[in-house]
């Protein structure tokens, strides 16, 4: 895998999306849009702690071929979900969650309703993706951002990329039961070619494009073949544990600790009788922010050996303190580090596979 950002989808993928649309609806689409997946160089499980992340877009993307229709009926089909079945839902204020993948589109549509004529949406859409589902590369954010881009194109809307990302994050919270941070949607909507994006996940979300265009450098993404899902309790449990750690630090004389982003390891150590698991979760969050900022500086200096060292430290923290790695992921890291020329390796995404 070479690092590419917002690359135009290949003509073969565009043709695939158009054909899927034609097969499902009997006529051609009027447009095709795309949004990329992402890989996170470093800064894992820090975004919902208002910390720092350093992701980049990848060439894998989600395409949507679409056509606007009259009324408020939304019809969607996917090449990877439902075996060509057409799903439909109402595109107005009565829109509700479902028990299937269309929630990632439903939630985005709901966020855009105030901008649409009459407060309703009507369209036909066919979805094709090359982002592996459940692979930790943000297939969900890619679908959400593609859906938002589709609506903007169909209805000739002008929406700032940050606003788009926040609407897609709100979709994930309200329709997909995942209390995620802003990183995945932000990088898919705001990525830039030849750069990683340092995101400060505290409002107003300042960013810095960090050059990552050395032709001698490659980023390799390896699949553990363990499919992950963040819709269970693992993700919400860790969000809750981080909040518990912050509350404990505030109660121990550190009132400024609203999120782990505000804390130091010394402040954490000052808390007495803190649950050991909660303490480990907080240790990761605090130290990961430090590693992410150090990685930004190392990248700017083209000190890739230092970046690799920080990636390994991040993996150990995610494995031991945050407990989101798996034996398969640990094995992949070990295999990678035994190869000459590899600077660093780590679990990517939310963990639990991918």
Residues with active-site annotation: 184
Report CA dihedral (154, 155, 156, 159) to the nearest 10 degrees: -100
Q: Residue 8 phi/psi, 5° resolution?
A: -60, 140
For residues 288 and 272, what is the distance between their CA atoms, to the nearest angstrom? 23
Q: Residue 15 phi/psi, 5° resolution?
A: -65, -40
In b/e form, how buried is each residue of 166-179, taking b as 16+ CB within 10 angstroms?
bbbbbbbeebbebe
Query: Could you give the C-alpha distances from 89 to 44, 85, 98, 111, in angstroms and in order?
Result: 34, 13, 9, 15
Query: DSSP class of residue 351?
Result: -
Go through the chain and tell me how many residues it has: 354
């Amino acid at each position: 895998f070479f690092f590419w950002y917002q690359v135009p989808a290949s003509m073969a993928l565009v043709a695939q999306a158009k054909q899927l649309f034609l097969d499902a609806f009997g006529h051609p689409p009027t447009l095709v849009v795309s949004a990329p997946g992402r890989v996170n160089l470093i800064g894992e499980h820090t975004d919902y702690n208002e910390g720092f992340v350093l992701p980049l877009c990848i060439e894998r993307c989600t395409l949507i071929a679409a056509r606007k229709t009259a009324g408020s009926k939304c019809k969607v089909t996917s090449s990877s979900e439902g075996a060509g079945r057409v799903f439909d839902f109402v595109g107005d204020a009565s829109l509700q969650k479902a028990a299937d993948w269309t929630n990632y589109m439903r939630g985005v549509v709901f966020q855009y309703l105030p901008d649409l004529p009459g407060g309703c949406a009507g369209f036909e859409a066919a979805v094709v993706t090359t982002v592996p589902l459940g692979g930790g590369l943000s297939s969900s954010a890619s679908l959400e951002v593609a859906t938002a881009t589709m609506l903007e194109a169909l209805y000739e809307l002008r929406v700032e990329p940050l606003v788009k990302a926040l609407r897609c994050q709100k979709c994930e919270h309200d329709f997909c039961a995942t209390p995620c941070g802003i990183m995945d949607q932000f990088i898919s909507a705001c990525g830039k070619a030849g750069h990683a994006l340092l995101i400060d996940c505290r409002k107003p979300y300042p960013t810095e494009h960090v050059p990552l265009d050395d032709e001698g450098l490659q980023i390799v993404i390896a699949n553990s073949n363990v499919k992950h899902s963040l819709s269970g309790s693992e993700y919400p449990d860790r969000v809750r544990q981080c909040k518990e750690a912050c509350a404990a630090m505030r109660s121990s004389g550190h009132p400024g600790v609203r999120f782990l982003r505000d804390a130091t390891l010394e402040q954490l150590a000052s808390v007495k009788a803190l649950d050991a698991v909660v303490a480990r979760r907080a240790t990761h969050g605090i130290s990961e922010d430090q590693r992410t900022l150090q990685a930004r500086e190392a990248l700017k200096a083209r000190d890739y050996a230092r970046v690799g060292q920080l990636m390994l430290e991040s993996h150990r923290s995610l494995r031991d303190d945050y407990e989101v790695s798996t034996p398969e992921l640990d094995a992949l890291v070990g295999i990678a580090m035994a190869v000459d020329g590899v600077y660093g390796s780590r679990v990517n995404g939310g963990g639990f596979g991918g």
